[in-house]
Chains A and B, each alone.
Chain A
Amino acid sequence: MKVKVLFFGVLSEVTGTGTKYYDDVKSIEHLKLRTADDYPEIVHYNFQVSLNNEIIKSDTPLKDGDEIAFLPPFAGG
């Protein structure tokens, strides 16, 4: 299975990318561990996580084709 991960705002700079694909991640928490392995600096930043355009607050299983976004605090307006 493969999921698409998007990094926005300052996190796009921290990771050096806006988009990354991950194989075999079982859940949001598992994904966070994998991204922290790839980008250790990310743990110093405050962010929310969305799954298929909805903010999620607790660990959630992932399935093939899911789109997850790491969202720093918003700054619109």
Chain B
Amino acid sequence: MTKYLTKGPITTDQIAAEVANLGKRKNTGGHSIFIGQVRDDISEGRRVRSIEYSAYNEMVSTEAEKIKKIVFNEFSDILEIILIHATGTVEAGEISMFVLVSAGHRDHAIRACRHTVELIKERLPVWKKEIFADNTYRWQKNA
């Protein structure tokens, strides 16, 4: 089964493993990668130390498949879509999301990657709790 969630932050080793697999499809002309990182925002005078991500695991799989289908249908020439989201605690500076889209041509890869990221934010059943440096927290939602 395709894995869409990791426990803890996504590591550079995981990203490197995905990148190492590139090139097997000889008809690929471009790969577009998005890496989401936890940012140490300041909100009401409090700095974000980390984010705790939680997810509805079974529905993540269903929705991730739907997201991929939407992107494959909306953009011609897409050859592969990889999306991974972290769960659990991710510290500021660590990686929370990884998207890689491979296409025959760079324009489709870049645009499809952007669209995949936006669909993840809109549709993936993931929630985040901002943990501040003073140990208070706030449930966050996407704009």
Stretch at the interface among A4-12, A20-28, A31-39, A56-64: A4-12
Across the interface, do A76 and B120 meet the contact criterion of CB distance under 8 Å? yes
Does B8 make an interface contact (CB < 8 A)?
A: no
Complex Cα–Cα for A74 and B60 (A): 11
Given known A-B contacts A8-B54, A8-B125, A8-B127, A75 and B59 have beta carbons under 8 A apart: no
**Chain A, interface SS category:** loop
Give the size range of A's interface with the partner.
10 to 19
Chain B residues within 8 Å of chain A by Cβ, number: 25
Binding site for A on B (CB under 8 A): 36, 53-56, 58-59, 62, 85, 96-97, 117, 120-128, 139-142
> Could you tell me the distance in whole angstroms from the C-beta of A6 to the nearest C-beta in chain B?
7
Across the interface, do A50 and B59 meet the contact criterion of CB distance under 8 Å? yes
Known: A6-B56, A77-B121. 20 other contacts (CB 8 A): A8-B127, A10-B127, A12-B54, A50-B56, A50-B125, A53-B62, A69-B125, A72-B127, A72-B141, A74-B123, A74-B124, A74-B141, A74-B142, A75-B126, A76-B120, A76-B126, A76-B128, A76-B142, A77-B36, A77-B97
